[in-house]
Amino acid sequence: MEFHWKTRHLDLEQTLESGQCFRWKRQDDGSYNGISGRHILHIRQCEDGVILETRDKSENDYWLDYFDSQTDYGRIIERFSADNTLKAAAEENRGIRILRQEPFETLISFIISQNNNIPRIKGIISRLCDCFGDEISGKYGVFRTFPTAERIAALSPDDLSPLRAGFRVRYILDAAQKVSSGIVDLEIINDMSLDDGREYLKKITGVGDKVADCVLLFAYHKIDAFPSDVWIKRITAEYYADGLPECLEGYRGIAQQYLYEYFRKMTVPENSAGTDKTSERKEKALI
């Protein structure tokens, strides 16, 4: 079942390759296949938006919510134009949207992300799903669900050794056990404040401020959460040493994604041949 969503503010590559999700698979034609919960999607870019292909029309609402269709990103980008650095970052990455992902999958994914790189994160998550998820077949192949907290909680460290997740295995098991036992109730976080949600998630071994903020932003749509990794710390130290500008208030998580992508792509050294993209972007940001 195909559904045409007309939008100026969803670029699939910018959104699905931005470090907020790890299970989407890019196809040779630039489209993507993905699964969330037990919902399968094939999605492709078109001139005026995207085409979503689901197994059933009833799944359209799920995916529109997943891609945060109700948020007016144009208005947010306009708000950010009050700050020159953020204006440049938002204009270049205006196709990024904050995904509304399944909470338990997001929690485990960002526990795995600690001190890790994206290819390795994807590999560990893929092996976790292949070993312990359910198989679902669709038009575009065979997919694996993300295993439930109950399924993982019943496992031992030896059971998880094929993941090659290292020290993170202990954290994965602790999270699954606390969620499956009810010590941590992921449902009630929806109604918590940002600060309360962060402290609540930190009851899980291995979850600190950064992982908690990623979960709150990418699963619960608490869009003022501001996950701070090495990139963001560098950016704030150089551009916002006196504090974040007022125009970010209430939308700091969206601003963080724009800034992260903008400066992460600055990979051409100043002494290399050709155009210095880093210098170009810094000049643009300071105009």
pLDDT at 230: 87
pLDDT at 274: 39
What is the CATH number that goes with domain 2-70? Answer: 3.30.310.260
Neighbour tally for 143: CB within 10 Å: 21
The C-alpha atoms of residue 25 and residue 13 are separated, in whole angstroms, by 11
Structure tokens at 216: 């709150």
Identify which of 17, 218, 15 has the alpha carbon closest to the alpha carbon of residue 121.
Answer: 17
Query: Mapping DSSP to helix (H, G, I), strand (E, B) and coil, where does residue 33 land?
Result: strand
pLDDT at 39: 96
pLDDT at 138: 85
pLDDT digits (tens, 9 = 90+) for 249-286: 999 999 999 999 999 887 534 433 334 444 444 444 43
Q: Answer whether 147's CB lies under 8 Å from 128's CB.
A: yes
CA 180 to chain centre: 23
Supply the pTM of this predicted model. 0.91
pLDDT digits (tens, 9 = 90+) for 168-205: 999 999 999 999 999 999 999 999 999 999 999 999 99
- DSSP 3-state percent helix, strand, coil across the chain (nearest 5): 50, 10, 40
Q: Answer whether 43's CB lies under 8 Å from 1's CB.
A: no
Which parts of the chain have pLDDT scores under 70?
267-287
Identify which of 45, 265, 271 has the alpha carbon closest to the alpha carbon of residue 285.
Answer: 265
Q: Are strands 141-144 and 32-36 parallel, antiparallel or unpaired?
A: unpaired
Residues 6+ apart with CB under 8 A from 110: 211, 214, 215, 218
The vertex-19 CA angle with 15 and 22, nearest 5°, equals 90
Q: Answer whether 176's CB lies under 8 Å from 112's CB.
A: no
Amino acid type, 188: I
Half-sphere exposure of 134 (CA within 13 A, CB side): 9
The C-alpha atoms of residue 29 and residue 43 are separated, in whole angstroms, by 11
Write down the domain spans for the chain.
2-70, 103-218
The C-alpha atoms of residue 46 and residue 14 are separated, in whole angstroms, by 14
Q: Which residue has the tokens 């908690």?
A: 212
Taking the CA atoms of residue 104, residue 108, residue 113 and residue 119 in that order, the dihedral angle to the nearest 10 degrees is -90
What is the CATH number that goes with domain 103-218? Answer: 1.10.340.30
The C-alpha atoms of residue 74 and residue 140 are separated, in whole angstroms, by 33
99: left (phi over 0), alpha (psi -120 to 50) or beta: beta
pLDDT at 265: 80
Neighbour tally for 135: CB within 10 Å: 10
